[in-house]
Chains A and B, each alone.
Chain A
Amino acid sequence: MEKEHPRHADLVDEKLVYWHFMAALIFMGASMLGGLLMSLQLLRINPLNGIELLSPGRWRMIHTNAIAYGFIANAFLGVLQWVVPRLTLRPCYNPRLPGLNLNLSWAIFWAWQLVVGATAVGILLGQAQALEWGETPVWIDPVAQLGLLLVAINYIPPIAKVEGPLYVSLWYFLSAFVWTFLTYAMGNFMPQYFVTGTAAGAVGGLFIHDLVGLFVTPLGWGLMYYFVPILLKKPIWSHGLSLVGFWGIAFFYPLQGIHHFLYTPIPMFLQYGAVISTIAVELVVATVIFNFHATLRGTTGALTTNLPIRWFYTGMFFYFLTCLQCAFQTTLTFQQLIHFSDWVVGHAHMVMFGVFAMWQLGMMTYLIPRLLKTPWYSQRLLEFHFWSSFIGIFVMAADLITLGVFQGLSWSSLMPWEHSVDISIPFWAIRAVAGVLMIFGYLAFMYNIVMTYLASRPSHQEAAVAAA
């Protein structure tokens, strides 16, 4: 007896997916603007000089927080509204909230925009918390924590109702909802209220690391396990390797936080432990990358014809590079030279933009025409978006990583401090140009979305007919 499957329209709130994407892209614009201003400041150009609320130090925090919580989190929440119900064949929990005239998914949407917006305002007013990637002012932290609880309450029930073994993506999603909640609670409250000094540093390192490793990474890979087989129309090459990947990352990733603070007064045996588990996770990552490339085998042509697949595999290429780099850069030998230098900044850009933003932009490229039920306005602009983003991030990361080595050498050779700044200027100039290239790609994408949106409106089509 064939059980009838629920229809897509009953499962997915397409409007919500679309609005999460739009919010994400708006915050990406804010983040890119902040990055541009900061890169200009390093070149000693400040168009907003003397304006307290728009000081470069504050913009820099807007830059990182807008990309992490504004762009990446919004894009995940949106795409999960599409993926989780379709994969589990059950809608999100999503109860109607009495009194608010909203259901839970939309309430989360608005609450999240409020959290990110309030964070930006708080930071510009000078109320930041001294926690990297957690500069959210302390009075917003409980609200964000509540938001993450609601996210877990909304998305876990459809997964919990699945009978039998779960598909790979759902392992990643389920654990990510738990991890994100725990990570945020640990990172934002412990070093502020419960521990101090060196121990707070250990917690802070764990927080920075888990935010990438236990929030962004599992959601990102879960989505890759969902979209890649669908787009390539074939299953993942090896289910066994997916198991190795998930359980390896789940075990080793959280153990590495302290590698952000090597040579601090944190006990050495803990530093060694973090270094060893970092190298271990790189071996696990290699199995995941291998699995996906084995899946691609035989359909490599999709890289040229299928733009979302190209975004995804470019992201995986960068993922492999960053993880390989990690296995080396966390050793004490490398840290002597590169800690505190622009090497780390290059690495961070490669992870956040080169991997996760690339994946999410690929998902948007795939989903937006489906949400608007209209083909993309311009395929050429999409191509431009991809190539300018790819070249931009590649040049930026290569430039900053190289610069980090020179800075480290300048410092350890006891040259006057000014020397390390002087040698940085040409590299910082190249970085600014690479950033501008990425911004052009972003603008092309936004223009493309607006034109596609306009074409999707029936009234607009009628008006065009009437005008003709």
Chain B
Amino acid sequence: MLESKAGVLFVAGIGFFALAFLSNALVPALMYRDLPELTVEQLVRNNGNLRFQFEDLARRFPDSFTKAYGKPPEGVGEREKWLDEKTQEALRAGHKVYVGEACWHCHSQFVRPVSNEDRRFGPVSKTEEYQNELQRPVLFGTRRVGPDLCREGGRRSNDWHAVHFFKPSTLSPGSPMPEYPWLFDGSPDKPNAKGLALMTYVQWLGSWLESYPYYEDYKAAPLPGDEPAKGANP
């Protein structure tokens, strides 16, 4: 068997591979099969933190926001639905930018229970947090040139992120992070659709936690269209 074609092909080639696949891939998949995988729609629904951030983008960058998403409808119910849809759209697009620019090669998305990481970043990561559409494939990450980002949402303002994406060294002197001017129309106060989407995505990270921080108090303020914002959970 050890030197025969059939032995090599069926035992080593297929058998050992199948054994490893069973124990290392199917076992965790089966163990977590009861945890529902959330869609982006479910992630956005009732997520007041994320909604706040998205509305905040509309307030801080009204022209850019209108250019990227148009004006919200007049009626309250329609506006709710519209904001939900646009937040979903931004979250999906932001995830695409995050993956395409390979942000995840320098920023991890999981807090380990060792090395004081919970003191630096926040609560240790749990399985449930990864059971959603935006973790296909999962963004655990591989290297930390920059800090972990899975608790990044809410820590810094959208203004900070805009300036930082445009030219990181302005806010973090000595940072080796590349500049991303193509997320803007020429200056940091004019993020384009991709820039707004990426900021939505980054502010979403950790938004599902009780401990989501606010860099400033949440205040409802008019959106483009002059109606008071609704829908953000206090």
Contact = CB atoms under 8 A, between A and B. Distances in A.
A422 B174 contact: yes
B4 A417 contact: no
A196 B3 contact: no
A42 B146 contact: no
A254 B130 contact: no
A411 B120 contact: yes
A265 B24 CA distance: 14
B229 interface: no
A170 B8 CA distance: 9
Contacts of A41: 176, 178
Interface in A422-439: 422
A126 interface: yes
A351 to B, nearest CB: 15
B135 A126 contact: no
A265 B35 CA distance: 13
B25 A206 contact: yes
Interface string B1-45: 011110011001110110111011101110110010100000000
Contacts of B142: 132, 340, 344
Given A129-B137, A162-B5, A270-B28, A201 B130 contact: yes
Contacts of B102: 57-58, 60-61, 128, 135
B3 A165 contact: yes
A128 B99 contact: yes
B122 interface: no
B47 interface: no
A49 B179 contact: yes
Q: Of A61, A198, A258, A266, which is in contact with the most chain B CB atoms at under 10 Å from its CB? A: A198
A254 to B, nearest CB: 3
A126 B176 contact: no
A254 B116 CA distance: 32
Interface residues of B, number: 74
B140 interface: yes
Interface residues of A, number: 90
Contacts of B139: 130
Nearest to B33: A199
Contacts of B137: 129-131, 191-192, 200-201, 203-204
Interface string A161-196: 010011000110011001100110010001111011
A418 B174 contact: yes
A44 B129 CA distance: 34
A396 B168 CA distance: 27
B143 interface: yes
Contact of B113 (A196, A205, A263, A408): A263
Contacts of A261: 140
Contacts, number: 235
A171 B24 CA distance: 24
Interface in B100-138: 100-106, 108, 110, 112-117, 119-120, 125-127, 129-133, 135-138
A139 interface: no
B181 interface: yes
B168 to A, nearest CB: 10
B132 A166 contact: no
Contacts of B174: 44, 418, 421-422
Nearest to A414: B116
A190 to B, nearest CB: 7
Interface string B72-113: 000000000000000000000000010111111110101011
Contacts of B14: 178, 182
Contacts of B140: 201, 204, 261, 264
A267 interface: yes
A182 B24 contact: no
Interface of B: 2-5, 8-9, 12-14, 16-17, 19-21, 23-25, 27-29, 31-32, 35, 37, 97, 99-106, 108, 110, 112-117, 119-120, 125-127, 129-133, 135-147, 169, 172, 174-176, 178-182
7 contacts: A57-B105, A182-B17, A197-B129, A201-B137, A265-B130, A270-B23, A341-B144
A-B pairs, top 6 by smallest CB distance, nearest first, are A197-B130, A254-B20, A126-B100, A178-B13, A57-B102, A191-B137
Given A204-B137, A344-B143, 16 more contacts: A128-B102, A130-B139, A174-B8, A175-B12, A179-B17, A197-B131, A197-B138, A198-B127, A199-B25, A200-B130, A210-B20, A247-B12, A257-B24, A342-B143, A413-B116, A421-B174
